Amino acid sequence: MVALFAAALAWLLWPFFTPDMTAYLIPWLETIRERGVTEAFERPFSNYMPSYLYLLALVSPLTAWFDPMSVIKLLSVAGTIALALAMHRLLGALGVARRAHWAALVVALPSVAFNALLLGQCDAIYVAACVMAVAMAVERRHIAMFIWCGVAVAFKAQAILVAPFFLAIAIQRRVPLVEWFAAPAALLALMAPALLAGWPPADLATVYFRQAGTFGNDIARNAPNIWSLAGMIAPEFAPRLFGLALASALGAAAWFIAKMQIVRLDNVGLVGMAALAALLTAGLLPRMHERYFLLADMLIFAFAVARGTRPAFALAGLVQIGSFAAISGYLGLGAPMVAIGALCMIAATWIAARPLAVPNANDNPPTGRNPRPAVLRPGFRYDIEQRLSFRGSGE
């Protein structure tokens, strides 16, 4: 059924293209074809990191049989398959039964399918690397975790949206600082081929800074977050909130890292916290786009599958609706859809954050053989564990 649904979506969406396809992706592929792989990388021809361009070069011979747009979308489909395999790995680390069936479902999720089959974007590739990094965090393989983090950043800067989670894990578990350098080492390793071909180091070092200024002073671009709502309500004033947005995101990240040091979570709860990190940063950082919640989509999906409760699946559905509504707004359905997406995503973020915002009434019970039971504050009802079951057995 999943295969049939995915095939139907491909048949429906494949002929369509977006402005990004004609303005960026197809010209990059044509540059590689015209110059040849070696000569193409001698000088900058893209505002993406070279990692994605390597893959474009790898599939460029397919243009002898397919049109350029189809070749680019085929690469995006391959990235989606990689994402499904990464989800299978993460669900395996969480001990989920029938994980192959759940991982296959990833390719049919609306936000994933539209990203590959319509937009032709490579977001699934960096999200797959982030999902693998979370799997390594669950298994306590910290060097591998940092390597996958470096790979993710090498494809897309949006990988840093989940950075507070990995930083919190590294601090909480006292991971040796030398192991942290596995992330920049992986990033540099992927940059090396372009550097050796002649790509200027200064250009590589500033790619993401130049990307940030692509759309001028817009505080958000169809992103399902609070700043898109602000832009709808006060379009002239909203760009002035850039500093507030940045400070809010940094403050939320610091709060998240600090709270992660004192909560007790099982492995499934850890994945929920990784999803929360992506929701917080994408929800509060300025200049976010509609596609930047794909990572949160996947992590909250893995959390819901592993937890297996109705509230967890409801939370995952809320995030998926929010993400897809924003994409629909970008595709022409306008600001109302983006606003609906923003409201869904804000509600999902609040629900996911409650295990951190409302901790146990007694996180540090007295020591001894028979510690006194926790006494709840008057009027305080703690039912997060029953409703969302984020908290574990105290691993």
Q: In one letter, which amino acid is 12?
A: L
Which pLDDT band holds residue 330 (cuts at 50, 70, 90)?
confident
Q: Give the range among 204-218, 307-321, 342-356, 381-395 with minimum mean pLDDT.
A: 381-395
235 and 365 in contact (C-beta within 8 Å)?
A: no
The DSSP secondary structure of 35-53, one letter per residue, reads H-HHHHTTS---SS-HHHH
pLDDT value, residue 361? 45
pLDDT in tens, 335-368: 899 999 999 999 999 999 988 876 554 444 444 4
pLDDT in tens, 145-177: 999 999 999 999 899 999 999 999 999 999 999
Q: Taking the domains of the chain in order of start, what are their residue ranges?
A: 12-49+59-201+217-360
pLDDT value, residue 62? 92
pLDDT value, residue 382? 36
pLDDT in tens, 118-132: 888 889 999 999 999
Structure tokens at 256: 């998240």
Instruction: Report the pLDDT averaged over residues 284-306.
Output: 93
pLDDT in tens, 5-44: 778 888 888 888 888 888 889 999 999 998 888 888 888 8
pLDDT at residue 276 greater than cutoff 90? yes
pLDDT in tens, 226-243: 999 998 998 888 888 989
Give the Cα separation of 273 and 365 in Å (integer).
23
pLDDT in tens, 297-321: 999 999 999 999 999 999 999 999 9
pLDDT in tens, 52-87: 999 999 999 999 899 999 999 999 999 999 999 999
Give the Cα separation of 214 and 204 in Å (integer).
16
Closest CA to 307 of 389, 392, 394: 389
pLDDT value, residue 53? 92
